[in-house]
Amino acid sequence: MYNQRILPFYMTYPLPLYYQEEDTAMRDLEYLQQMYPIEAKRYQKVVASMLDKLDYEGSMIYDEYPDKWQMYRLSQNILDVIRRQEEEEKAGELVAQEKLDSISDVVQVILCYEIYKRRHNRSHSGILKF
């Protein structure tokens, strides 16, 4: 006949377990982020401070499909900030364009990761729902 086991109500909704798995994944990603090389950690701090200014409701970082040109332009603004910081540290000595070109890809990857992390944390906390 029909011998199905009766489950308590809290076991019929899988969402809490799903969020626990997401939290574990986020903790793993943040732990791995701590292993960045020293230069990448410096760039990550600059990226995070720039994104703090863009962290508001309706920001382009929360668009369902962020515009590629805007992302590129944001990464160029971040590179300008990094260039100015390095020039200040070296007492006005100009930073070579080759160095900025070489770190451009790293900054773009860090930017995408930081945006992903903010979008995930914000949608997970219930502030923004898709």
Domain count, the chain: 1
> Does residue 9 register a pLDDT over 70?
no
Domain that holds residue 43: 13-124
pLDDT the model gives residue 129? 42
User: Is 130 domain-assigned?
Assistant: no
72 or 4: which carries more pLDDT confidence?
72
User: Is 29 domain-assigned?
Assistant: yes
User: Is 4 domain-assigned?
Assistant: no
User: Is 6 domain-assigned?
Assistant: no
User: Is 56 domain-assigned?
Assistant: yes
Specify whether the CB–CB gap between 81 and 50 falls below 8 A.
yes
What amino acid occupies position 38?
I
pTM over 0.85: no
pLDDT in tens, 50-66: 999 998 888 899 998 99
User: Nearest to residue 122, comparing CAs of 59, 45, 43?
Assistant: 59
User: Is 7 domain-assigned?
Assistant: no
> Does residue 6 register a pLDDT over 90?
no
